[in-house]
């Protein structure tokens, strides 16, 4: 594995990085809507058309690393341990996701500005919600696959939707009220753990 990629690949990576960096700098400096794709391309020293061969849309630059989180969680879901109930596995997956995020400072630095943009620009918020929604579908599907007897697909969706939905709204509202990133993360995590724990209680003493 990990052969040194050729010049072509390295250049592509550099261009991609240059586009992302230039885009974020411009977005932060003069606002998302006020920045044109042409300006981004110029700042990254490529043609406008080339921008669109790296990103399908202006929005996509913001979400370029949006799949990292979900894929981490999916890997955990794919490896259930003996004795796990669905709720246990989901708990471990989500907890693992939080701690991965908490440890990765690089990721947090990248996510900070993106977060601010998503919070402020409606079209980006919509896009972010869509991506999160699709991730939830994947997560529900994976959870159902891991415990096909215990949870139907729709039941898994209900559980995943509740856990993620609660965390999402709590975090967002918290941040809207001026909480620091740390407080926001904590609010989201607490909401997730709260929902998980009530679900766990419900599943151990079935009615």
Which residues here bind a second copy, judged by CB under 8 A?
122, 125-127, 129-130, 133, 136-137, 140, 153-155, 157-170, 172-174, 176-177, 187, 190-191, 194-195, 197-199, 201-202
Question: For residues 38 and 176, which CB has a smaller minimum distance to DNA in the complex?
Answer: 38
Query: Could you tell me which residues come within 8 angstroms of residue 172 by beta carbon, excluding any fewer than 6 positions away?
Result: 119
Question: For residues 24 and 172, which CB has a smaller minimum distance to a second copy in the complex?
Answer: 172
Tokens at residue 38, please? 């042409």
Query: Could you tell me which residues come within 8 angstroms of residue 121 by beta carbon, excluding any fewer than 6 positions away?
Result: 32, 33
User: Choosing among a second copy, DNA, none, which partner's interface includes residue 78 (Cβ < 5 to 8 Å by kind)?
Assistant: none
Return the H-helix or E-strand segment holding 203.
Answer: helix 181-204
Instruction: Tell me which residue of 124, 126, 2 sits closest to 62, measured CA to CA.
Output: 124
Question: For residues 122 and 206, which CB has a smaller minimum distance to DNA in the complex?
Answer: 122
Mask 21-60, x = binds DNA (CB under 7 A)?
--------------xxxx------xxxxxx-xxx-xxxx-
Rounded Cα gap, residues 38 and 35, in angstroms: 8
State the minimum distance, in angstroms, from the CB of residue 19 to DNA: 10
Rounded to 10 deg, the angle between the 67-77 and 122-146 helix axes is 10
Tokens at residue 115, please? 């977060």
* CB of 63 closer than 8 Å to CB of 27: no
User: Choosing among DNA, a second copy, none, which partner's interface includes residue 133 (Cβ < 5 to 8 Å by kind)?
Assistant: a second copy
Question: For residues 49 and 109, which CB has a smaller minimum distance to DNA in the complex?
Answer: 49
Query: What residues make contact with DNA under the rule CB under 7 A?
Result: 6-9, 11-12, 15, 35-38, 45-50, 52-54, 56-59
């Amino acid at each position: 594995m990990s052969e040194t990629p050729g010049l072509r690949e390295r250049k592509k990576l550099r261009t991609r990085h240059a586009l992302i960096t230039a885009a974020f700098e411009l977005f932060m400096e003069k606002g998302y809507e006020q920045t044109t794709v042409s300006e981004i391309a110029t700042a990254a020293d490529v043609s406008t058309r080339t921008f669109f061969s790296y990103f399908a849309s202006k929005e996509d630059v913001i979400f370029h690393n949006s799949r990292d989180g979900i894929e981490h969680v999916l890997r955990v879901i794919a490896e259930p341990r003996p004795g796990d109930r669905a709720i246990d596995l989901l708990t471990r997956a989500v907890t693992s996701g939080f701690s991965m995020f908490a440890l990765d400072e690089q990721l947090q630095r990248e996510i900070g500005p993106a977060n601010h943009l998503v919070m402020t620009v409606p079209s980006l918020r919509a896009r972010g919600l869509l991506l999160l929604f699709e991730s939830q579908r994947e997560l529900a599907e994976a959870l159902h696959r891991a415990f096909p007897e215990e949870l139907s697909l729709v039941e898994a969706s209900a559980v995943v939707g509740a856990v993620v939905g609660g965390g999402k709204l709590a975090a967002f509202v918290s941040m809207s009220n001026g909480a620091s990133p740390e407080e926001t993360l904590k609010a989201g995590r607490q909401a997730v753990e709260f929902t998980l724990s009530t679900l766990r209680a419900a599943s151990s003493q079935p009615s």
